[in-house]
């Protein structure tokens, strides 16, 4: 049977994924084993797999597979998020294509379309995750709008309202005038935009009539270059939003601003509409920004709103929900805000109230979904009080019950939790859980699970038994999507409806959560709050925060930039295992990763390397009559393997996945392939002895186990090859148990390290002297260190192509020599040595050693070092000195011999 020259992922991936599914290896039910649980951060149901998911889910799968192989009952719960705004946008777009407008539909009609869309297109992403090898328990797949999950949302709402933690109020929200809904902070994308800064004059009352065109003197301060903007007739403000001047409630100046002392207590007139507003004083105003006079527009700016509250200013909202000006603006009514901005600039200019226009760069918020400029807007919304719930959630992290990885996020987390704002939980959408509030004819409302209960409540509340269902109107809004996802770790196990069920008691709290730092507050923090509120326990023990996937240039990967490769294409090209390895190679926890396809290439090459090692072993013929010549090699690799196993374990314990992978990579590529297999490899077409063969096969099988979490498909494929023996149907790599760490012969490992240096030196000599590897050489040595090189003779001879290997008591004159550890090695060559070059080389080495010795001696001769340093440090320094002196002796002797 011929084996392909390279590993072919396409022939194995689907095959083994179906096999795993068929044998229920991903399935988890509570049993006596220790559970290991991860709940997936539910991707948007509208989502398609991008590089961020790829990274995130690779990490989760590695953790889950490893836990499974450590004998735990591993459960990875998958699912999707209903993503109100994103999905509603998709559905509206779909309807538009069919010529249907949302406003012509009733709510139930619209929702029917939405469900239709969800059934048809939703959850593609889960299918894509299977390509990656994700070993989720698919039978547990949940959706945040599943009946029981929605019920949990409603119950939670009622519960929190009863506790007084949910209230209704007017607040400044991020308003999307295109989607006509409030959006959450994280759905606002801030971008730097080129804008204009308009300088507008307001006339001061009592200082003359607000007549345009009156002579105004502006006094420039030569020293500072500042222009004094307030004359006795006018003051000037700078704004990027001149269309909102009609909503101004005051002008604010800093009380310490000496330029404007004369304005204290005055009032001014808004240009064009001549409404009179006060000048107020507040240190909030920065004196050196703009003119130092700030227009205060409480209805259209968050900071102004807060300032307005402080100073009891009226709120004049001049914008409609769609971003056009309303009649309160008095002028330009019905114009869109941006058209109005241009027009008002012209009007102001004509009125002589516009003194100048400057270019200005600033951050502006855009709606993630519609890309409309976000308008800060006051509106009646539902809010969830945060401060009470934030306290215990902060404590979990501070006292280490919930560990953030990496720890640097603790500070950020604390900062946020200590300054937490109430959470706007209502959204002006239809897709989602409708707020369980019913309004009564008198304007009051009741909160209830359904309309029947609401009616009962209403009758009690109004003491009017005549009320009917027709008198009640349910709040049309839905709750924020995060208001369902914060319950996720509990709701996926049905922990609300049935709080004592076997699943939740077994799987909760979960072990690890793997997510992006961007949603640490919006999701992670709130899950901890909900976990505490509803279960009295944090929902997970560790939070692994991944970085953002960026391109080579450091730009965030995004659809609009087109700099994101399609993960499925990558899998197609490099194989799922190759891509998984590629993702992990460049992903330190919590740091962004600069992704480049070359990492996937490296992953693919690694898969190929393993494949070829397998091919080599598989090709060997066994001759049972042969003695085992490889005892040392076998013991050495066994020790190295155990040592590496420890390193890998240690890396995993610290969630250093990319280092765990690198340790595995080097174990396989360097130790196993480059050294061990070369040591034991029989001459071409010669048979191998039985012991070496079976041990090597055993080693290979152990390597497959260690590799499996990273490279599940390749390892499963090789696991089932006849090379590794007969397999029962359920004897699969995915459920194999990781080997335990066995004995480690550290002396052997360090001696082999010296042997490796010897071999490297021999090869180096071949390279520099242009001696073919095929040409056998003689090697003799003078041991000063006590290492018994005779036991490594077979290895050195084989890998160095040494025909004669002998110990000598005296140096070999005229031979090429090198030092390994403190031992001298000699290779006699037919060609003559170049004494000049040799002298130069030795001279350099001597110089280096002298310098080194000097620094060591300086330390050892320093009384303070001797009295302060730890004994083991002193011992190390002494050994360094002894070694250096020994080497120096050899080199000096060589120099004498060469008569340099």
Partner RNA sequence: GGGAGUUUAGCUCAGCUGGUUCAGAGCAUCUGCCUUACAAGCAGAGGGUCACUGGUUCGAACCCAGUAACUCCCA
Q: How far is the CB of 192 from RNA (least distance, A)?
A: 9
Nearer to RNA, 59 or 353 (CB): 59
| DSSP symbols for 743-794 | ---HHHHHHHHHHHHHHHHHHHHHHHHT--TTS-EEEEEE-SS---GGGGHH
Q: How far is the CB of 567 from RNA (least distance, A)?
A: 18
Nearer to RNA, 140 or 295 (CB): 295
Q: In angstroms, rounded to a whole number, what is the distance separating the alpha carbons of residues 809 and 877?
A: 29
Q: How far is the CB of 703 from RNA (least distance, A)?
A: 12
Place of tokens 């049309």: 476
Nearest to 58 by CA among 642, 778, 711: 711
Helix axes 567-585, 712-719, angle to 10 degrees: 90
Q: How far is the CB of 591 from RNA (least distance, A)?
A: 5
Nearer to RNA, 319 or 679 (CB): 679
Q: In angstroms, rounded to a whole number, what is the distance separating the alpha carbons of residues 287 and 276?
A: 23
For residue 300, say if its preceding peptide bond is cis, omega within 30 degrees of 0. no
Q: In angstroms, rounded to a whole number, what is the distance separating the alpha carbons of residues 590 and 595?
A: 14
Nearer to RNA, 654 or 788 (CB): 654
Q: What is the β-pairing status of strands 219-220 and 166-176?
A: unpaired
Q: Which backbone phi and psi does 668 adopt, to 5 degrees?
A: -75, -50
Q: In angstroms, rounded to a whole number, what is the distance separating the alpha carbons of residues 699 and 638?
A: 8
Nearest to 721 by CA among 604, 605, 615: 615
Residue 46 DSSP one-character state:
T
How far lies 186's CA from each of 34, 366, 394, in Å?
37, 11, 21
Q: Which backbone phi and psi does 79 adopt, to 5 degrees?
A: 165, 180
Q: Which backbone phi and psi does 849 adopt, to 5 degrees?
A: -65, -40
Helix (H) or strand (E) holding 832: none
Cα 678-681-682 angle, rounded to 5 deg: 145
Q: In angstroms, rounded to a whole number, what is the distance separating the alpha carbons of residues 69 and 663?
A: 18
Place of tokens 């007139």: 269
Strands (E), 154-223: 166-176, 181-183, 188-204, 219-220
Q: How far is the CB of 865 from RNA (least distance, A)?
A: 3
Q: How far is the CB of 201 from RNA (least distance, A)?
A: 26
| Cβ-proximal residues to 185 (8 Å cutoff; 6+ apart), any chain | 174, 522
Nearer to RNA, 267 or 605 (CB): 605
Q: How far is the CB of 412 from RNA (least distance, A)?
A: 5
Nearer to RNA, 237 or 405 (CB): 405
Nearer to RNA, 450 or 855 (CB): 855
State the sign of the Cα–Cα–Cα–Cα dihedral 169, 173, 179, 180.
positive
- Both tokens assigned to 710: 């990273």
Q: How far is the CB of 368 from RNA (least distance, A)?
A: 12
Question: Is 480 in contact with 184 (CB distance < 8 Å)?
Answer: yes
Q: How far is the CB of 406 from RNA (least distance, A)?
A: 8
Q: In angstroms, rounded to a whole number, what is the distance separating the alpha carbons of residues 270 and 351?
A: 12
Q: Which backbone phi and psi does 810 adopt, to 5 degrees?
A: -120, 160
Q: In angstroms, rounded to a whole number, what is the distance separating the alpha carbons of residues 189 and 187?
A: 6
Q: How far is the CB of 495 from RNA (least distance, A)?
A: 29
How far lies 458's CA from each of 156, 443, 472, in Å?
20, 11, 9
- Cα torsion for 666, 667, 671, 677, to the nearest 10°? -120
Q: How far is the CB of 500 from RNA (least distance, A)?
A: 37
For residue 381, say if its preceding peptide bond is cis, omega within 30 degrees of 0. no
Nearer to RNA, 76 or 672 (CB): 672
Nearer to RNA, 62 or 129 (CB): 62
Nearer to RNA, 135 or 658 (CB): 658
The CA-to-CA distance between both ends of the chain, in Å, stands at 62
For residue 509, say if its preceding peptide bond is cis, omega within 30 degrees of 0. yes
Q: How far is the CB of 723 from RNA (least distance, A)?
A: 13
| Cβ-proximal residues to 551 (8 Å cutoff; 6+ apart), any chain | 557, 561, 563, 564, 594, 595, 596
- Both tokens assigned to 813: 């004159």
Q: How far is the CB of 857 from RNA (least distance, A)?
A: 12
Question: Is 508 in contact with 495 (CB distance < 8 Å)?
Answer: yes
Nearer to RNA, 275 or 782 (CB): 782
Nearer to RNA, 203 or 658 (CB): 658
Q: How far is the CB of 199 from RNA (least distance, A)?
A: 20
Nearer to RNA, 276 or 288 (CB): 288
Nearer to RNA, 287 or 735 (CB): 287
Nearer to RNA, 495 or 517 (CB): 517
- Both tokens assigned to 508: 């909760």
Q: How far is the CB of 61 from RNA (least distance, A)?
A: 21
Q: How far is the CB of 147 from RNA (least distance, A)?
A: 32
Q: How far is the CB of 850 from RNA (least distance, A)?
A: 11
Nearer to RNA, 106 or 770 (CB): 770
Nearer to RNA, 39 or 677 (CB): 677
Nearer to RNA, 200 or 856 (CB): 856
Strands (E), 648-776: none
């Amino acid at each position: 049977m011929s084996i392909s020259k390279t590993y072919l992922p396409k022939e194995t991936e689907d095959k083994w994924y179906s096999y795993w599914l068929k044998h229920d290896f991903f399935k988890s039910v509570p049993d006596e084993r220790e559970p290991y649980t991860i709940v997936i951060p539910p991707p948007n149901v509208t989502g398609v797999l991008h590089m961020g998911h790829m990274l995130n889910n690779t990490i989760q799968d590695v953790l889950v597979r490893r836990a499974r192989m450590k004998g735990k009952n591993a459960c990875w719960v998958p699912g999707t998020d209903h993503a109100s705004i994103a999905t509603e946008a998709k559905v509206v777009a779909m309807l538009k294509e069919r010529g249907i407008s949302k406003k012509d539909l009733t709510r139930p009609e619209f929702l029917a379309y939405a469900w239709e869309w969800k059934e048809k297109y939703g959850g593609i992403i889960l299918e894509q995750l299977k390509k990656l090898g994700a070993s989720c328990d698919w039978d547990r797949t949940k959706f945040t709008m599943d009946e029981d999950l929605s019920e949990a949302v409603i119950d939670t709402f009622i519960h929190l309202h009863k506790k007084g933690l949910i209230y209704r109020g007017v607040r400044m929200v991020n308003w999307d005038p295109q989607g006509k809904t409030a959006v959450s902070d994280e759905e606002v994308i801030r971008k730097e935009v080129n804008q204009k800064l308009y300088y507008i004059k307001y006339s001061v009352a009592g200082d003359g009539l607000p007549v345009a065109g009156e002579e105004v003197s502006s006094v420039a301060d030569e020293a500072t270059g500042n222009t004094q903007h307030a004359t006795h007739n006018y003051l000037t403000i700078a704004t990027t939003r001149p269309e909102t001047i009609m909503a101004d409630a005051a002008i604010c100046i800093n009380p310490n601003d000496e330029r404007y002392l004369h304005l204290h207590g005055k009032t001014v007139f808004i240009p064009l509409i001549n409404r009179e507003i006060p000048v107020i004083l507040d240190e909030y105003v920065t004196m050196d920004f703009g003119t130092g006079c700030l227009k205060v527009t409480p209805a259209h700016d968050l900071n102004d709103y807060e300032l307005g509250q402080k100073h009891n200013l009226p709120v004049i909202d001049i914008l409609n929900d769609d971003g056009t000006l309303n009649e309160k603006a008095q002028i330009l009514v019905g114009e869109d805000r941006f058209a109005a901005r241009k027009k008002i600039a012209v009007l102001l200019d004509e009125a002589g109230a516009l003194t100048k226009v400057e270019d200005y760069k600033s951050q502006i918020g855009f709606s993630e979904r519609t890309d409309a400029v976000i308008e800060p807007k006051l509106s009646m919304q539902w809010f969830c009080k945060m401060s009470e719930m934030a306290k215990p959630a902060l404590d979990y992290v501070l006292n280490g019950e919930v560990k953030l990885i990496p720890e640097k996020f603790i500070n950020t987390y604390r900062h946020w939790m200590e300054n937490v704002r109430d959470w706007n939980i209502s959204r002006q959408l239809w897709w989602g859980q409708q707020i369980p509030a019913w309004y009564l004819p008198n304007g009051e409302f009741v909160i209830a699970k359904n309309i029947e209960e609401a009616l009962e409540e209403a009758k009690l509340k109004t003491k009017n038994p005549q009320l009917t269902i027709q008198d009640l109107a349910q709040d049309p809004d839905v709750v924020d999507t995060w208001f369902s996802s914060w319950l996720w770790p509990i709701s996926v196990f049905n922990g609300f409806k049935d709080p004592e069920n076997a699943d939740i008691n077994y799987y909760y709290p979960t072990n690890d959560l793997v997510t992006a730092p961007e949603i640490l507050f919006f999701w992670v923090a709130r899950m901890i709050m909900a976990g505490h509120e509803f279960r009295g326990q944090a929902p997970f023990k560790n939070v692994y925060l991944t970085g953002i996937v960026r391109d080579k240039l450091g730009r965030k990967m995004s659809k609009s930039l087109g700099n994101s490769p399609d993960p499925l294409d990558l899998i197609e090209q490099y194989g799922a295992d190759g891509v998984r390895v590629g993702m992990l190679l460049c992903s330190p926890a919590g740091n962004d990763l600069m992704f480049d396809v070359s990492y996937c290439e490296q992953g693919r090459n690694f898969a190929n390397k393993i494949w070829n090692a397998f091919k080599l072993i598989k090709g060997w013929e066994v001759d049972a009559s042969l003695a085992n010549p490889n005892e040392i090699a076998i013991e050495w690799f066994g020790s190295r393997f155990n040592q590496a196993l420890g390193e890998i374990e240690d890396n995993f314990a610290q969630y250093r996945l990319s280092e765990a992978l690198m340790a595995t990579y080097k174990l396989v590529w360097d130790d196993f392939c480059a050294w061990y297999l070369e040591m034991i490899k029989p001459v071409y077409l010669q048979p191998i002895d039985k012991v070496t063969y079976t041990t090597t096969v055993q080693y290979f099988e152990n390597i497959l186990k260690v590799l499996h979490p990273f490279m599940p498909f390749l390892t499963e494929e090789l696991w089932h090859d006849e090379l590794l023996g007969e397999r029962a149907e359920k004897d699969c790599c995915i459920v194999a148990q990781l080997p335990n760490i066995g004995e480690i012969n550290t002396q052997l490992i360090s001696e082999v390290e010296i042997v490796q240096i010897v071999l490297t030196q021999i090869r180096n000599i071949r390279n520099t002297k242009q001696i073919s590897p095929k040409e056998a050489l003689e090697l003799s040595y003078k041991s000063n260190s006590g290492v018994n090189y005779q036991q490594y003779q077979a290895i050195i001879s084989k890998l160095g192509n040494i025909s004669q290997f002998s110990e000598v008591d005296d140096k070999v004159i005229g031979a090429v020599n090198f030092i390994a550890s403190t031992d001298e090695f000699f290779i006699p060559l037919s060609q003559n040595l170049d004494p000049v070059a040799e002298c130069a080389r030795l001279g350099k080495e001597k110089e280096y050693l002298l310098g080194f010795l000097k620094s060591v001696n300086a330390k050892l001769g320093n009384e303070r070092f001797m009295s302060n340093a730890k004994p083991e440090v002193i011992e190390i320094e002494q050994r360094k000195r002894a070694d250096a002196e020994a080497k120096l002796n050899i080199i000096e002797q060589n120099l004498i011999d060469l008569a340099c």
